[in-house]
Structure 1
C-alpha cells in the first residue's frame, strides 16, 4: 500500500492534433499575425523602403509565429528550439520573397497603387505562401522524432536510435 502512495502521478503528454485541427490553429495564429503584419508593413514603409519594412516585419512575425506554432498549432508542449526557428526561418524567407515579388510586380504594373490595392496583393501572396509554410512546418519542422528505441551500448550506457516513420498527412 505504501508503494502505491509513493509513486508520482504520470502527466499525460498532449496528443498531436490532426491535420484539420492544426490547419485551423495555423490559420488563427499565423493568419492573425499575418493580418497584423499586413498593417505594420505599410505603416513602417512610410519611414523606410518597403522591402526593408517587409523584412523587419517578416523577422519579427516569424519569431512570434514559430513560438505560437510550437506551443499551440502543433502542440509540442514546449517552445520552439533553435532547429525549429532556423527551419521556420527558411520557409519564412520563401514567403518573404513571394510577398516582395508580388508587391514589386504590382508597382511595375501600377506605379502608385493605393494602400488597399497593396494590402490585397500583399495578403493574397501571404495567404498562398502561408499554405506552403503550413505543409513544411507540419510535415518537416514540427513533425517530431517518433519511434525512438533505446539500445544498450557497452561504452556509453544507452544509445537512442531514431527509427524513421512516415508523418501522418
Structure 2
C-alpha cells in the first residue's frame, strides 16, 4: 500500500508554550480537507491561535489532504513549514474516514480528534470535548448539535435531515448518542486504534460506524453541546451522503445478525445489544411466551368463554414476557425502573389485547359457533401483529436507554 506523503514535524519539540500547558499530554487534531486551497490557511491559523492561547495541553494539528486536485496540498505544505505545531499528510484516495483512519492509526498522541475545516463548531467546546478523555472518564467524545444546550444556525432542510437520521439510528440501531455526523469528535488513541480494524467505511458513514461499534462494545461516549453555524459554502452532497449512510446502516444490521457478539464482548453486557441480537432474543422469548399462552388459553377455555380466557392468558404471560425481555433482550438488570417497565409493558399488552379481542369478536360476529381451533388460529395471527408493535414499543419507548439515563 502506498504510504501517504507527510510534511512537517510529527511531534512537537521544545516549543514556546503557555506556562500552564501540561507538556506530558499530547492531543492530535486532524483537519481533513479536499479542494480547500482558499480556506485551509485561514482556518488552520485560527485554530492554532486559539489553541496556543487557551489550550492547556500540548497539541499537534494535522492537515489531512484527501487527494485534492487544486492547490490545497501546496498550501498545507507551506503551513507545515511555517507553523511549528502543524504538519501535513497527503492521501492518494478520497474519503474522510480513510484520512482519519490513516492519521489516527499512526498517531502517537494520547488523544486524537478531528474537526471540519470550516470550523462551523465553536472552538470553545474543544477543551470540554477532550478533557474527559485525558482524565480517563470517557473513551470517546462527540460534539452534539441536538443537545438541549446547543445553539445551532442552519437551514430547515439540513435540520430535518439531521434529526431524521439520528432518530432512525436510535429506532433501528438502539443508538444512545444524539448526533452521529457532527464534525467534532475525539477519542483516546489506544481505544480508537482498537476500533479501527472493525470499521469498514472510509467515507461519511465512518463516524456513525465507529460510534455504533463503540456502544456495542461497552465504551463510554461523552457528549458536549456545541454552538454550530452552517457553512453556506459546504459542498457535501446531502442526498448521496444520506443514501450512503442508509447502506451503511443496512450493512451494520446484517453484521449484527451474523456476529451478535462482536469485538469487546466482555464489556458488552453493560449496554443494550444491537438490533440483530435484540430481534433474536425477542423471538426466543416470544416463542416461549406464545407456547405458554396457548397452553394457558386452552386450559382456561374449558372453564370460561373465549374473551376472558384470552385476557387472562395474555395478562399472565405479558408480565413474564416483559421481565424476560427486560433482562435478556434489552440488557436491563437490577430493580431500578422495574415497576415503570412493567406498567409501560402493560400498556403494550393492552394494545395487543385490543387487537386480539377485536379479532375474536369479529370472528364470532361473522361466524358464530366456530370451533376452538379456528379461534386459536385467529388469535395467533392477531397476536403476531401485536408482537411486532410490542417490539417497537419496547425498543423505542419502554427500554429506550436515553430515558433510563
The one of 357, 364, 375 aligned to 1:100: 357
The answer as to whether partners of 2:307 and 2:360 remain within 8 angstroms in 1 is no
1:53-68 to structure 2, matched below 5 A, reads 53-68=309-324
CA RMSD in angstroms, aligned pairs only: 2.1
Instruction: Give me the whole-angstrom Cα distance separating, in 1, the residues matched to 2:348 and 2:281.
Output: 18
Q: Report the equivalent of 2:345.
A: 88
Q: How far did residue 13 of structure 1 move?
A: 6.1
Aligned mates of 2:395, 2:276 — CA distance in 1: 11
Greater mean alpha carbon deviation, residues 13-22 or residues 80-89: 13-22
Q: Report the CA distance between 1:62 and its aligned residue.
A: 1.0
1:136 matched to 2:385:
no
Gaps of 5+ in 1: 1-10, 149-169
Bigger mean CA offset, 110-119 vs 12-21: 12-21
Counterpart of 1:97 in 2: which secondary structure? helix
Q: Hey, what's the Cα distance between the residues in 2 that align with 1:40 and 1:87?
A: 23
TM-score, length-normalised on structure 1?
0.74
From 328, 331, 335, give the equivalent of 1:72. Answer: 328
Q: 1:47 is matched with which residue: 261, 283, 303? A: 303
More strand by share: 2
TM-superposed CA distance for 1:32, in Å, is 1.8
CA-CA distance at 1:42 after TM superposition: 3.0
Q: Deviations over 1:108-128 (max 9, x none)?
A: 122122222111101000000
Q: Deviations over 1:51-103 (max 9, x none)?
A: 21112112211110111001101111336601000000001001011111111
Q: Out of 21-30 and 35-44, give the one that drifted further.
A: 35-44
The answer to whether 1:36 aligns with 2:256 is no
How far off is 1:12 after superposition? 4.2
Judged with a 3 Å threshold, the aligned counterparts in structure 2 of structure 1 residues 118 and 143 are, in CA distance, closer, same or farther, namely: same
Q: Which moved more, 1:94-103 or 1:76-85?
A: 76-85
8 A Cα contact 2:352 2:383, kept in partner: yes
Residues 318, 349 of structure 2: 8 Å contact kept: yes
CA distance in 2, matches of 1:78, 1:21: 21
Q: Paired residue for 1:127?
A: 384
Q: Which has the larger radius of gyration?
A: 2
Contact 1:70 1:78 in 2 (8 A): no
How far apart, CA to CA, are the structure 2 residues paired with 1:106 and 1:147? 41
Aligned residue pairs total 138
> How far 1:34 sits from its partner (Å)?
1.8
Normalization by structure 2: what TM-score? 0.32
Q: Is the 8 A contact 1:35 1:123 kept in 2?
A: no
Aligned counterpart, 1:16: 272
| CA distance in 1 between partners of 2:374 and 2:275 (Å) | 33
The SS at the match of 1:145 is helix
More helix by share: 1
